[in-house]
Chain A
Amino acid sequence: DIVMTQTPLSLSVTPGQPASISCKSSQSLLHSDGKTYLFWYLQKPGQSPQLLIYEVSSRFSGVPDRFSGSGSGTDFTLKISRVEAEDVGFYYCMQAINLPFTFGPGTKVDIK
């Protein structure tokens, strides 16, 4: 199985300041079709996960443009340009190139 790691595991951010989360996979997520199957989800307190970013850098419908994704191969980054109070929760990266899908351990983001 592909192992996903995330750093940091916890992040406390002042509103209006940027935040960045790193995700690494144990093998390349680049498929032969040319796409890279790395996804980012946010699980707000008491809610189910919601898709933020798909295929490394594409924002899902309705996701604010302060969220952006980048990376390639095995190294990926989620950036929030200006953190807002509603962005608190756990952020997970997930690989979907192979079954079983596997997730990073999650990064807890809270507000200072």
Chain B
Amino acid sequence: EVQLVESGGGLVQPGGSLRLSCAASGFTFSDHYMDWVRQAPGKGLEWVGRTRNKANSYTTEYAASVKGRFTISRDDSKKSLYLQMNSLKTEDTAVYYCARRPSTGWGIDYWGQGTLVTVSS
């Protein structure tokens, strides 16, 4: 069974930093591209960014709203995905979901349960 479990959320002041983690199990993590998607309270879904797999040099892509502030990384040996968030703004307040791209095809097939990040003074 595919499982994605996020952790690391919490309350942080504007301008602060936070690192989210996502622990994967039930599939060959190293084969897959992995994404972060967020959802502000009571709002819709916003794609945050992606890391590709080793075969594609672990390259990353980011939404314009987070580029230069957020960094996605992964550790295939630990089957873990990370989101380093710096210079946080109040508008970054959201539930952050870890999500998996299918091994064949595009899009997103599985999502974690999410972790809440609140940016407030």
| Contact A37-B111, Cβ < 8 Å, known A49-B45, A105-B44 | no
Report whether A100 and B63 are in contact in the complex, using a CB–CB cutoff of 8 Å.
Answer: yes
Provided the pairs A48-B97, A48-B114 are in contact, do residues A54 and B44 lie with their beta carbons within 8 angstroms?
Answer: no
Q: What is the CB-to-nearest-CB distance from A67 to chain B, in angstroms, rounded to a whole number?
A: 15
Measured in the bound complex, the distance between the Cα atoms of B101 and A96 in whole Å is: 10
Residue B107 interfacial (CB < 8 Å): yes
What distance in Å separates the Cβ of B109 from its nearest Cβ neighbour in chain A?
Answer: 5
CB distance from B102 to the nearest CB of A (A): 8
| Chain A residues within 8 Å of chain B by Cβ, number | 24
Q: Does B61 contact A (CB under 8 A)?
A: yes
Which A residues between 28 and 57 are near B, CB-CB below 8 angstroms?
35, 37, 39, 41, 47-51, 54-55
B112 is an interface residue with CB less than 8 A from chain A: yes
Interface residues of B in 100-121 (CB under 8 A from A): 102, 105-114
A12 CA to B115 CA, complexed, in Å: 30
Task: Known A54-B105, A55-B105, A94-B108; judge A99-B45 contact (CB<8 A).
Answer: no
**Is the CB of A106 closer than 8 A to any CB of chain B?**
yes
Query: Which residues from chain B contact A55 at a C-beta distance below 8 Å?
Result: 105, 107
8 tightest A-B CB contacts, nearest first: A96-B107, A101-B47, A48-B111, A103-B45, A96-B106, A39-B107, A100-B47, A100-B63
Q: How many residues of B contact A (CB 8 A)?
A: 22
A49 touches B111 (CB 8 A): yes
Cβ-based interface call for B50 (8 A):
yes
Give residues 80-105 of A contacting B (CB, 8 Å).
92, 94, 96-97, 99-105
The answer to whether A92 and B61 have CB atoms under 8 Å apart is no
Which residues does chain B contribute within 8 Å of A51, judged by CB atoms?
107-110
Q: How far is the CB of B23 from chain A (nearest CB, A)?
A: 15
- Would you give the shortest CB distance from A53 to chain B, in whole angstroms? 10
Point out which of B45, B105, B108 has the most chain A C-beta atoms below 10 A from its C-beta: B45
